[in-house]
């Protein structure tokens, strides 16, 4: 008779949830993707996209599965934020939540969103009341992004392949919630060696137009510590 696998005796077992904080950039501001929760408790209320860890999944596998279910996306920039373990965070039973944040270009993927979850993009300044501790997760994710964006080019994950300096400035201003001096911002961004100017201009916003730029992937790692938006 086959022996059962050994187990830790006298120990409690808990559920592990995965919650995905999905940020997107629409060209003028950063937005947060929310869904209607599909089951009790709090059914129908706004929520982050989430699910439960399956027996044979790693945390990263589960986060990618959940993100793909909503957006159809694979290979999206995603990073683990934190573990939320308050014993009272879920009224049904003890559930630990591991939160991840993802960065996507809204216009590239907006047609792929699954309507099954009734997704909707919200301005970071107009996030509604969310279930459980999800508002706290969103705020921590924003703070984390602000810390990283002050020294690394992580926000470029939110931009299309070609972008203008006004778009980059709008992106940073949306995250930090304040205006930057246009001349100083452009000077410091161009001095970072991260941007490659293209020959074409974007002309829909003004007659003069603004040059398109692309991210210099060769200098990406070497210049991660020289973008100083907080000093602009």
Domain CATH for 163: 1.10.10.10
The reply to whether 136 and 221 lie within a common domain is no
The reply to whether 31 and 78 lie within a common domain is yes
The reply to whether 169 and 144 lie within a common domain is no
Q: How far apart are CA 129 and CA 172, in angstroms?
A: 25
The reply to whether 120 and 167 lie within a common domain is no
Q: How far apart are CA 34 and CA 27, in angstroms?
A: 19
How much of the chain, in percent, has pLDDT values that exceed 90? 65
| Residue where one domain finishes, among candidates 149, 177, 210 | 149
Q: Which phi and psi angles does 112 have, rounded to 5°?
A: -95, -5
Range in 64-73, 122-131, 132-141, 182-191 the model is least confident about:
64-73
Supply the range of the domain harboring residue 181: 154-231
In the prediction, which pLDDT does 109 show?
64
Q: How far apart are CA 66 and CA 20, in angstroms?
A: 8
What's the full length of the chain, in residues? 232
In the prediction, which pLDDT does 203 show?
72
| Residue where one domain finishes, among candidates 149, 174, 200 | 149
Q: Is 25 contained in some domain?
A: yes
Range in 28-42, 65-79, 108-122, 203-217 the model is least confident about:
108-122
Count of the separate structural domains present in the chain = 2
Q: Which phi and psi angles does 84 have, rounded to 5°?
A: -115, 120
In the prediction, which pLDDT does 71 show?
79
pLDDT class of 223 with cuts at 50, 70, 90: very low
Q: Tokens for 137?
A: 């997760």
Residue that wins the pLDDT comparison between 76 and 57:
57
Q: How far apart are CA 64 and CA 207, in angstroms?
A: 42
* Residues with Cβ within 8 Å of residue 110, at least 6 apart in sequence: none
Q: Is 4 contained in some domain?
A: no
The reply to whether 45 and 79 lie within a common domain is yes
**Angle of helix 165-176 versus helix 134-149 axis, rounded to 10:** 130
Q: Is 221 contained in some domain?
A: yes
Looking up tokens 């000077």, which residue turns up? 187
Q: Is 8 contained in some domain?
A: no
Computed over every residue of the chain, the mean pLDDT equals 88
In the prediction, which pLDDT does 226 show?
41
pLDDT in tens, 179-220: 999 999 999 888 888 899 999 987 776 667 889 999 987 755
Q: Is 9 contained in some domain?
A: no
Q: Is 133 contained in some domain?
A: yes
The reply to whether 131 and 159 lie within a common domain is no
Average pLDDT over residues 21-26: 95
pLDDT class of 6 with cuts at 50, 70, 90: confident
| Residue where one domain finishes, among candidates 149, 177, 212 | 149
Q: Is 3 contained in some domain?
A: no
The reply to whether 30 and 111 lie within a common domain is yes
Q: Tokens for 177?
A: 């919630």
Q: How far apart are CA 231 and CA 174, in angstroms?
A: 16
The reply to whether 190 and 226 lie within a common domain is yes
The reply to whether 119 and 43 lie within a common domain is yes
The reply to whether 132 and 177 lie within a common domain is no
The reply to whether 130 and 203 lie within a common domain is no
Q: Is 194 contained in some domain?
A: yes
Return the CATH number at 23: 3.90.79.10
Q: How far apart are CA 25 and CA 61, in angstroms?
A: 25
The reply to whether 119 and 161 lie within a common domain is no
Task: With 0.85 as the threshold, say if the pTM is over it.
Answer: yes
């Amino acid at each position: 008779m086959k022996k059962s696998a050994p187990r830790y005796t006298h120990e409690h077992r808990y559920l592990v949830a995965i919650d995905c904080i999905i940020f997107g950039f629409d060209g003028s501001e950063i937005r947060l993707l929310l869904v209607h929760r599909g089951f009790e408790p709090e059914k129908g209320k706004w929520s982050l996209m989430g699910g439960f860890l399956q027996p044979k999944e790693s945390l990263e596998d589960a986060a990618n599965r959940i993100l793909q279910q909503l957006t159809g996306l694979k290979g999206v920039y995603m990073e683990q934020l934190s573990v939320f373990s308050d014993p009272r965070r879920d009224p049904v039973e003890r559930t630990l939540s591991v939160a991840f944040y993802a960065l996507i270009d809204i216009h590239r993927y907006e047609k792929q969103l699954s309507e099954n979850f009734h997704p909707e993009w919200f301005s970071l300044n107009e996030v509604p009341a969310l279930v459980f501790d999800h508002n706290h997760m969103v705020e921590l994710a924003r703070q984390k992004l602000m810390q990283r964006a002050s020294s690394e080019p992580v926000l470029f994950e939110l931009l299309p392949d070609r972008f203008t300096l006004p778009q980059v400035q709008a992106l940073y201003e949306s995250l930090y919630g304040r205006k930057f001096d246009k001349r100083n911002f452009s000077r410091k961004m161009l001095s970072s060696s991260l941007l490659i100017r293209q020959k074409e201009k974007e002309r829909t916003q003004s007659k003069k137009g603004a040059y398109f730029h692309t991210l210099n992937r060769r200098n990406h790692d070497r210049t991660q510590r020289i973008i100083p938006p907080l000093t602009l």
